[in-house]
Every structure is written in structure tokens, then in C-alpha cells.
Structure 1
Amino acid sequence: MSALSSSLVFLIQILGSLYIMAVLLRFILQLVRADFYNPISQAIVKITAPLLNPLRKIIPGVGGMDIASLVLALALQIGLIYALYMLQGFALAAIPFPTVLFLSLRELAVEVLNIYMFSLIVIAIASWVAAGSYNPGLMLLHQITEPLSSRIRKIIPPVGGLDFSLMVLVLIIITLKNFIAAL
């Protein structure tokens, strides 16, 4: 593969992954009922609206879950995998759809776990560096992770002012990622 095509593959992979992450973040933000007046939430809504709004007219939400965003993320991931294989010289017929579907689902699951893991790490670092400060990004990360953290706190309460729920969640996420990687 030439340097130009290698750079093109890298660029398409990064841009495609970032957009898919934005769609997944929009799903998560709606699922946890995050503050949509937050400037970061507003940016995610504006970025994802052109592709998501037409799809929402066809695919309704179910039980407070935005199914259209999940369908869009899956379709984009499938398209990204096919595009990357084509750019690397593979014929579309050589790649069976069930394999691409499985790879797409696995990649989306890992991406959701990465969103949560990096959110937890940023929250932990911010609690050491800027405890109690207001930042729209940190507030959004707290809103994303709090439903899971509060469940862990019910099992393992804070001890001596130390909250171990973030560490437990990161360990659970790493375990899940290892399990998914083994599939």
C-alpha cells in the first residue's frame, strides 16, 4: 500500500470513527437524560442531526431509547468497514456480510466501553486536580457515568471519603473489553 493510500485509510478511519462516536454519545446522552442545554450536548446534536433526523422519521424510539441513533451507528460502522477494506484492495464480494456485521457490532460495543472508560478516567483525574470546579465537559461526563457509579456505590459505599466506584467500573469495563476481544 502506498503512502498516499495509507494516509487516506488513516484519515477515513479517524473521521468515520469520530462521527460514529458522536452518534453513540448522542444515544448515551439521551439514555441518561443528560442536560441538552450543555454546549457540548448542543454540538453533538448539531453534528449528528443531518443524518439522524431523517432516520428518526422512519425508526421511532422505544422506551426512552433512541433506536435510530443505534441503527445509524451500526450502518455507519458497516459502511466504514467496507470502505476501509475497499481502499486496501479487497473486493466487496470477498467480505461476507455476516462477518462485517459481527465486526461492526463488536467495534460499537468496544467504542461504548471506551467512552465510559475514558470518561471515568477524566473524572478521576479532574477530582484530584480541580475538585469542585464547574466545567461543561466534566458535568456531562458526570451525567453519563453517574447511573453506573451510583449502582456500584450501593454495593461498595465510599470508605473514609474515598469512592471506589470509579475504579470498580474501570475494572469491569477492562474485563468486558477483554471478553469482547476474545470473541
Structure 2
Amino acid sequence: MNSSPFIMLVTVICNLYLFIVLLRLVLQLTKADFYNPISQGVVKATSLFVLPLRKVIPAIGRVDTASLVLAFAVQLLTVALVVFIKGAYLSPTGYALYTVAGTLYHLLDLYFWAMLISVILSWVAPGANHPGAMLVGQITEPLYRACQRVIPPLGGLDLSPIFIFLSISFLKQILSAYNI
């Protein structure tokens, strides 16, 4: 869908901010350490929009709905800008579909990269104390635990990353038609 350099620039900038907003949402869902310097950077980068939204939109359980609404808003802005630049038309249903599916696609993408980093770190630097490594571990651990309930480690070999990667790839393939 990116046919011009300007569209590419808009999508890269918007998707980068969407990644940061989704990272904030995932950090809160996984109860990651918010004293981590990377977490602090994510909070600072998103607080300008999240804090005013929190005054209007209350959290539902552990889900920070203000961050979720902001993620949807950023994805909707991305879709609207791309449609406007292309001079195309999209129905309100199309906007809703591209917004929700695109946000889910990018959330899966975030988990894909976190999983990949986690697997590489387990080979290269197991038990690393770097703030980035600790944060990746905190994000991916609930996913590993959920998968290990179904597929326990076999003789010290953990197959859960393989099944998680397959699941993420399958879901991303389904949602890829709505990725801008």
C-alpha cells in the first residue's frame, strides 16, 4: 500500500509512535518494572496524550483503556493520512476495520520482536542484567508461561517459542491485508 516516499514516511513515523503506545499498554498488562529506564522513556513519550485520556476514560481491571484508545487513535490517524494522501475513499466500516485489525497486527509485531530478542538473549546472554533484557523477559514471560501450560518443556528443551512464533505468524498473515 506504500506507493510513495511520503506515504512511507508518514506510516513509519505513525507506526513508531504506535509501537511506543502499544509497548506502554503491554508493560502495564504484564506488570513490568516501571522503574526501568526504558519503561520510564516509554511513559514520558506517551504521557502527553495518555494522562488527559485517563481523566475521561477509566481503566478496566488491569487494562489501561486510555492507552488502548490512544493506540486505536494513532492507527486511525495513520489510516486516515494514507487514505487522504492517496486520494482514496474508505467507508466508516473500512476505517474501523483497518484501525482494529492494524492495531492488532502491530501488537502481534511487537510480541514477535520481543520473542525474537528473548530467544537470542537466551542463547547469547542468559540471565543478563541489562534493563532492555530484563524488560523483554518481563514482557514475554506471561506468554511463555501460558504456552508451557499446554506444552511443557521436554527434557530441558522448551518448545513454547516455536509454537508462539507459529501462532503469531499465522495471526499476522490473517491481519496482513489490513496493515498500512
TM-score using structure 2 length: 0.91
Amino acid at match of 1:144: I
Q: Is residue 11 of structure 1 aligned with residue 6 of structure 2?
A: no
SS in 2 for 1:36: coil
Match of 1:172 in 2: 167
Q: Structure 1 residues 23-32 or 168-177, which shifts more?
A: 168-177
Q: Which structure's relative contact order is higher, taking Cα pairs within 8 Å and 6+ residues apart?
A: 2
**Secondary structure of 1:137's partner?**
helix
Distance 1:136 1:27 in 2: 18
Q: Give the residue type in structure 1 aligned to 2:92.
A: F
How far did 1:74 drift?
A: 0.8
Distance in 2 (alpha carbons) for counterparts of 1:176 and 1:12: 25
- The alignment-based identity, stated in percent, is 41
TM-score (norm 1): 0.90
Given that 2:33 and 2:135 are in contact with CA atoms closer than 8 Å, whether structure 1 keeps it comes out as yes
Alpha carbons 2:19, 2:106 under 8 Å: kept: yes
What corresponds to 1:143 in structure 2? Answer: 138
Name the CA shift for 1:98/1:15 in 2 (closer, same or farther; >3 Å).
same
Q: Quote the offset at 1:155 in angstroms.
A: 2.2
Q: Flag the structure with larger Rg.
A: 1
What SS does structure 2 have at the residue aligned with 1:180? helix
Which residues of structure 1 form unaligned runs of 5+?
none
Distance 1:32 1:83 in 2: 32
1:56-67 matches, within 5 Å, as 56-67=54-65
The residue number in structure 2 matching 1:80 is 78
- 5+ residue gaps in structure 2? none
**Aligned residue number for residue 23 of structure 1:** 21
RMSD: 1.7
User: Which of the residues 126, 129, 139 maps onto 1:131?
Assistant: 126
